[in-house]
Structure 1
Amino acid sequence: MPEALMTSAEVADLLGVSKSTLSRWRTLGGGPVEVEDALVWLTPTTPRYRRPLLMSFLVGTAA
């Protein structure tokens, strides 16, 4: 079964932030990029987020 990956647009929508905020978090740290291995790069310009790890991040921030 293929790994569940989310695009930046999907993650930004889910978190209620802009894609530029998500990009800034990737550059400066913060948000879901702080979850180890949550971010993968398909190409040097194509980030994807692992859905299960992103959901773990969301559960952790809600607690």
Structure 2
Amino acid sequence: MATLMLALNPGSFDEVAAVLADSPDVCRTHYGHDSCECAARAVRDVLLAEHPDVFNRLSKRRT
């Protein structure tokens, strides 16, 4: 879940912390490592490749 959230909104450790009921610092430490950042970027790239408008559609749902 956290990797997908970071793929959608890179650097959103506060949101990840809220969902995981943890602190932003712990999430940043755990998910901010290169491997997780790379995984989040890879997920984002795949989502964009398969569904180029996915982020536009998700943004519309939030409002």
TM-score bracket relative to the smaller structure: 0.3 to 0.5
When Rg is computed on C-alpha atoms for both structures, the one with the higher figure is: 2
Bigger share in helix? 2
Q: TM-score under structure 2 normalisation?
A: 0.36
